[in-house]
Chains A and B, each alone.
Chain A
Amino acid sequence: MAYDKFEILKSTAVPLPIENVDTDQIIPARFLKATERKGFGDNLFRDWRYNGDDTPKSDFVLNNPTYSGKILVGGKNFGSGSSREHAAWAVYDYGFRCVISSFFADIFKGNCLNIGVLPVQVSPEFSEKIFAEIAADPNTEIEVNLPNQTVTILKTGEQESFEINGYKKQNMLNGFDDIDYLNNIKGDITEFAKELPL
């Protein structure tokens, strides 16, 4: 599924300073029963966001109107656990285009890149700075610049660069995905298959 191109994102951010946020929290298993990619944003962080009777939990950040934006800032080891791409879909469908963390779990990070959510890994110190600035002023804007591979706290001008491989960067800038790439080299793949040891 194609996604919108990602170039420069300037937005306020939603802070979630909890470590080891696993994909079961991002979207619990009982919401994985769809056969289409629709409506996953409604169940993003379902059990942290809603009580058992579906009323919103007022102390959860997504229910606090003070915080909004297209950037989610998570604690260390964000997205661990299950490989469910539904977690990345839920993040995207809710309206986030970028997740910032000091450390990402592998599969979640890969899933994000495949569907157009940019995972931005920053140093633990910079992550702390972002959390502190948002706590001091929820209107703090953050700029994520993919062409330059930088993330900037606009109010203070503090900046850090982030890594992304050249191939994935081009994909994100153009809204391409790996499936297009692989479908274009199918001939090479079938030739390769003939030479395998078994």
Chain B
Amino acid sequence: MSTKKTLFDKVWDSHVVKHVEDGPDVLFIDRHLVHEVTSPVAFLGLKNRNVGVLFPNKTFATADHNTPTINQHLPVKDPLSANQLKALEENAKEHGISHWGLGHEKNGIVHVVGPEYGITQPGATIVCGDSHTSTHGAFGAIAFGIGTSEVEMVLSTQCIMQPKPKKMRINIEGELNFGVTPKDVALFIISKLTTSGATGYFVEYAGDVFENMTMEGRMTVCNLSIEMGARGGMIAPDEKTFEYIKGREFTPKGADWDKAMAYWETLKTDEGATFDKELTFSASDIEPMITYGTNPGMGMGISKSIPNAEDLEGGVATYKKSLGYMAFNEGEDMIGKPIDFVFIGSCTNGRIEDFRAFTSIVKGRKKADNVTAWLVPGSHKVEAAIKEEGLLDILQEAGFELREPGCSACLAMNDDKVPAGKYAVSTSNRNFEGRQGPGSRTLLASPLVAAAAAVTGKVTDPRELMKELA
């Protein structure tokens, strides 16, 4: 047997407490992120079994899914949401878990604040009752979403039981085209693999494009791994990774940092290690992307037209149902389609770099009158940076307002709901039926595409507006 190991093997294997015969591995979890929606029943389970939290110092709670994005200083109006937020606060207190609730200076989307405060580290196993936990793979961690039963397992034993997934490597070589962002790279990959193409696999992203990408871009790509069915995605840590995490609140300091670095520098796939599947794409084939259907795999280059059902391999009825929901027709162009809402935010694109990109296009322009825009920072830290960097002034000058942090219209659990039949260009991660509100229609895109739509009121190729600036 080959002793060559992939990055994924190295991290997974070092966390296996034991292998159950004809069954899963018992996997030790280094960091458990907890939010208000998927944890209350797990805490109830602890009570029913009369057990506590085994490692409260490896557990971090923040409120994000249910929180309002305006007037956060006032009591939460929805009694059910308020009750969930209270339950998280009480559960965290009872079990000695740090809790960054609504109003806390460190509050924000769980997958934004984890990296911001250095909770996310290379070589760690990280779980959360949220499928976009894959975000943290950007740091060379194994990170994935779990169900509430598993949340209870991790609370009470710091372990879950899962079979080791298969391994896939996705390579993208070359240089990205003008106007192409990490979001476009991810939507491109998903459009090639479909929403189930990586089911059963854990993905490593490799090649020029990911090496040259910022940490924030890597987070966007890893975040969307679940949308092609993968358990998670990861990128080998490098100088950029170490530079990003150094000095953050929860990262090791002094001699501990040196020791950690010595270990982290070994975290890369060995030359000659094998993957169950390996795919290679060329960066030059990617253009700004947009989705036209009701799953993230239904994406295409923004200048293309909606595929015809007859060109698909099966699934025609489902495809037609999807286009029917969107009220789009086969063969139509996306460019020029009127839109009603723009949402920038979420664990996918709610970081400072995303707001910089958005602002770069709206600068000197005005929000279109037919557009309602929701600009929701991923955390208070992002919100502060938007102000400090002077972006807020530019955004306000262009007719935009900034809201307070949270998951917001990505899943519309709070009041930020897109009305039935309306179109939203959204930087979030899912365009499922009703995802952004019952009957809502979502076009997933990058912050640049969202900005272009926000100022023109229709689907617009951002490169057109960027040329004018250049």
Q: List A residues at the B interface (Cβ < 8 Å).
A: 1, 17-20, 22, 24-25, 28-30, 32-37, 47, 52, 75-77, 80-86, 88, 103-107, 110-111, 114-115, 165-168, 177-179, 181-183, 185-186, 188-190, 192-193, 196-198
By a CB distance below 8 angstroms, the chain A residues around B130 are: 82-83
Q: Per-residue 0/1 for B58-86: is the Cβ within 8 Å of any A Cβ (1 yes, 0 no)?
A: 00000001100000000000101101100
Contact A88 to B147, CB < 8 A, known contacts A32-B413, A33-B413? yes
Assess whether B229 is in contact with A182, with CB atoms less than 8 Å apart. Answer: no
Q: In the bound complex, do residue B131 and residue A52 qualify as a contact, i.e. CB atoms below 8 Å apart?
A: no
- A144–chain B nearest beta-carbon distance, Å: 20
Which of A34, A86, A110, A193 is within 8 Å of B28, CB to CB?
Answer: A193
Given that A77-B195, A80-B295 are contacting pairs, would A35 and B41 also be in contact in the complex, using a CB cutoff of 8 Å? yes
Count B interface residues, CB 8 Å: 81
Q: Which A residues are CB-close (under 8 A) to B51?
A: 183
Chain B contacts for A76, CB-based, 8 A: 196, 315
3 tightest A-B CB contacts, nearest first: A167-B23, A166-B22, A85-B147
Please give, as numbers and ranges, the residues of chain A lying within 8 Å of B199 by CB-CB distance.
77, 103-106
Do residues B147 and A107 form an inter-chain contact, with CB atoms below 8 A?
yes
B150 and A20: CB pair below 8 A? Answer: no
Contact A110 B87 (CB under 8 A): no
* Nearest CB on B from A17, distance (A): 8
On whether the beta carbons of B38 and A177 are closer than 8 Å, the reply is no
Residues of B within 8 A of A105 (CB): 196, 199, 229
Question: Which residues on the A side are within 8 Å of B66 (C-beta)?
Answer: 33
Q: A114-B147, A182-B159 are in contact. Are A81 and B430 (CB under 8 A)?
A: yes
Set A77, A88, A166, A183: member contacting B23, Cβ < 8 A: A166
B280-323 CB contacts (< 8 Å) to partner A: 295, 315, 317-318, 321
What are 9 pairs between A and B in contact, CB < 8 Å? A19-B318, A29-B435, A83-B147, A85-B38, A106-B199, A178-B150, A179-B49, A182-B26, A196-B28
CB distance from A13 to the nearest CB of B (A): 19
Question: Is there contact, CB below 8 Å, between A193 and B196?
Answer: no
**B-side interface mostly:** loop
Q: Which of B131-184 contact A (CB under 8 A)?
A: 131, 145-150, 152-153, 156-163, 165
Chain A residue, CB-CB nearest to B149: A114
Q: Chain B contacts of A19 at CB under 8 A?
A: 315, 318
Contacts of A17 in B (CB 8 A): 317
| Residues in B whose Cβ lies below 8 Å from that of A75 | 318
For the complex, is B54 an interface residue (Cβ under 8 Å from A)? yes
Residue of B87, B412, B434, B438 touching A35 (CB-CB under 8 A):
B87
Task: Check if B93 is an interface residue, CB within 8 A of chain A.
Answer: no
Chain B residues whose C-beta falls within 8 Å of the C-beta of A177 in the assembled complex: 149
The A/B interface has a contact count, at CB < 8 Å, of 205
User: In the complex, what residues of A have CB within 8 A of residue B37's CB?
Assistant: 32-33, 84
Contact B162 A107 (CB under 8 A): no
A-chain residues with CB within 8 Å of residue B41 when the two chains form the complex: 35-37, 85
Give which listed residue, A30, A81, A111, A166, contacts B432 with CB less than 8 A: A81
Chain B 3-24, CB-CB to A under 8 Å as 1, else 0, gives 0000000000011011011111
Nearest residue, chain B, Cβ from A87: B147
Which of B106-114, B121-129, B239-247 contacts its partner?
Answer: B121-129
Write out the residue numbers on chain B whose beta carbons fall within 8 Å of the beta carbon of A111.
Answer: 147-149
Q: Which residues of A contact B80 (CB under 8 A)?
A: 33-34
**Judging by beta carbons under 8 Å apart, are B162 and A110 in contact?**
yes
Tell me the B residues contacting A by CB distance below 8 Å.
14-15, 17-18, 20-24, 26, 28, 30, 37-38, 40-41, 44-45, 48-49, 51, 54-55, 65-66, 78, 80-81, 83-84, 87, 121, 123-124, 129-131, 145-150, 152-153, 156-163, 165, 195-196, 199-200, 226, 229, 231, 252, 259-260, 263, 295, 315, 317-318, 321, 411-413, 420, 430, 432-435, 438-439
The minimal Cβ–Cβ distance linking A10 to chain B, given in whole angstroms, is 27
Task: State the CA gap A81–B21 with chains docked (Å).
Answer: 30
Q: Contacts of B81 on A, CB cut-off 8 Å?
A: 33
Closest residue of B by beta carbon distance from A186: B157
Are the CB atoms of B433 and A183 closer together than 8 Å? Answer: no
Given contacts A29-B411, A47-B433, A88-B147, contact A183 B157 (CB under 8 A): yes
Give the chain A neighbours of B123 by CB distance below 8 A.
197-198
Give the nearest-CB partner of B154 in chain A. A182
Q: How far is the CA of A168 from the CA of B161 in the complex (A)?
A: 10
A34 to B439, CA, bound (A): 23
Give the distance in Å from the alpha carbon of A166 to the alpha carbon of B163 in the complex. 12
A contact residues around B413 at 8 Å (CB):
29-30, 32-33
**Interchain CB contact (< 8 A) of B44 among A35, A52, A110:** A35
Q: How far does the Cβ of B281 sit from chain A's closest Cβ, in whole Å?
A: 22
B234 CB to nearest A CB, Å: 16
B276 → chain A closest CB, angstroms:
15
CA of A20 to CA of B318, assembled, Å: 8
What is the CA–CA distance of A88 and B196 in the complex, to the nearest angstrom?
Answer: 19
Q: Which residue of A lies closest to B129 (CB)?
A: A83
Residues of A within 8 A of B131 (CB): 81-83, 107
Measured between C-beta atoms, what is the minimum distance from B35 to chain A in Å?
Answer: 11
Given contacts A107-B146, A179-B149, 8 further A-B contacts (CB under 8 A): A22-B295, A24-B434, A32-B37, A80-B195, A83-B147, A103-B196, A167-B22, A198-B30
Q: How far is the CB of A22 from chain B (nearest CB, A)?
A: 5
Pairwise interchain contact B18-A185, C-beta atoms closer than 8 A: yes
B162 to chain A: closest CB distance in Å?
7
A48 to chain B, nearest CB (A): 8
